[in-house]
Amino acid sequence: MGGITVHAQQISLYNQYRLNEFLINPSVAGYDGYTSFNVTAREQWIGLNNPPRTNTFSFQTRLLKRSFQINQKSVRKNILRKSRSGRVGIGGFIYNDNNGLIRRTGAQFSYAYHVHLGSNQLSFGLAGFVYQFNVDVDQIKLRDETAEELAFIRKFETTYIPDVGAGVSFTTNQYMLGFSATHLLASRLKIDQSETNKYAERYFYTFGKYRHPLSDNWAMEPMMLVKASEKFQIQGDISNTFIYNGDYWFGIGYRTKNSVMALLGFKYDRVYFGYSFDYTFSELTTRSLGSHEFSVALKLGDSARRYRWLERY
């Protein structure tokens, strides 16, 4: 029986971390004192047959009775002030990631604890998640479709894989720095009774952003994200976003391995809309029209929220 190899993009790509850093770091859950709901839809390499697609829905909130909350008074000034929520944040997300013959559907729950250092904040987070790994075996083409080969292939069809992650972040009124790790258990995908393959490599993220005021109405916000696997495969994103009056923004970025990104967005009341487009300068250029990503975020709540039943923490 011949060997079978399946390749997949193991971790999902996102461009708009500015709207939802929680997707890459569990310590961010509830860091700004609000209850947030985010929806992200991304389709890579438009024009190819069956391109990678990722859809994510996430929420996060802050609990307990005393914390800090970020309030933006203008593009020049963010104020980190005390509120009546607390030190504990929780969050979670569900996602569906399709890449060729492989589909991953999963859910994550995160717990964060925030420590106040003057007007700054140090946050720690833990995450547990489980995902369903599914291979569309009906699309696999075999040279000789023997009963033995078909039975072997069917063992790939659906598998549930648990794992954990962790993160830490530091927030001030102007910048955020964070480090996180995912797939810490390095889960294995069981093929048959005698063999398992390591499916999930450990990945490590380093994230940073800084808001620099340019005038009373304008600010710029450079951001950096470095992703590294345990095998030292490294990918870096760097971007710079210009923000007008806290309500509109646009920017440009670069991802290593020859990809550029354009970012646009605006805020209406408590709803944030974001769009990004990235284009890869590689052999895909002649076959792909680029990748698109849409994000919508809703932020609810204010500093008056209080939950008595949680004050025991």
Q: pLDDT digits over 241-292, tens only?
A: 999 998 999 999 999 877 899 999 999 999 999 999 988 876 666 666 788 9
Average pLDDT estimate for 125-149: 71
8, 25 in Cβ contact below 8 A? no
Average pLDDT for the chain: 79
Within a domain: 257: yes
Q: How many degrees, rounded to 5, is the angle at CA 176 between CA 69 and CA 63?
A: 35
Within a domain: 119: yes
Tracing tokens 């994510």 back to the chain, one arrives at 56
Q: Which of 143-147, 183-187, 308-312 has the lowest mean pLDDT?
A: 308-312
- Nearest to residue 225, comparing CAs of 213, 235, 210, 215? 235
Q: For residue 239, how far is the Cα from the chain centroid? A: 16
Q: Supply the pLDDT for residue 280.
A: 81
Name the residue range of residue 102's domain.
17-310
Within a domain: 12: no
Confidence of residue 215 (pLDDT cuts 50, 70, 90): very high
- DSSP, collapsed to helix, strand or coil, labels residue 211 as coil
CA terminus-to-terminus distance, the chain: 58
Average pLDDT estimate for 14-22: 81
- DSSP, collapsed to helix, strand or coil, labels residue 256 as coil
Within a domain: 5: no
Name the region of 145 (left: φ>0; alpha: ψ -120 to 50; beta: rest).
Answer: beta
Q: Supply the pLDDT for residue 80.
A: 55
Q: Considering Cα of 252, then 172, then 302, then 219, what sign does the dihedral take?
A: negative
Q: Which amino acid is at 310?
A: L
Tens digits of residue pLDDT in 59-105 = 999 885 654 555 555 555 565 555 445 789 999 999 998 877 778 88
Within a domain: 2: no
Q: How many folded domains does the chain comprise? A: 1
Domain at 99, CATH number:
2.40.160.40
How many whole angstroms separate alpha carbon 64 and alpha carbon 41? 32
Average pLDDT estimate for 227-247: 92
Helix (H) or strand (E) segment spanning residue 135: strand 120-135
Within a domain: 47: yes
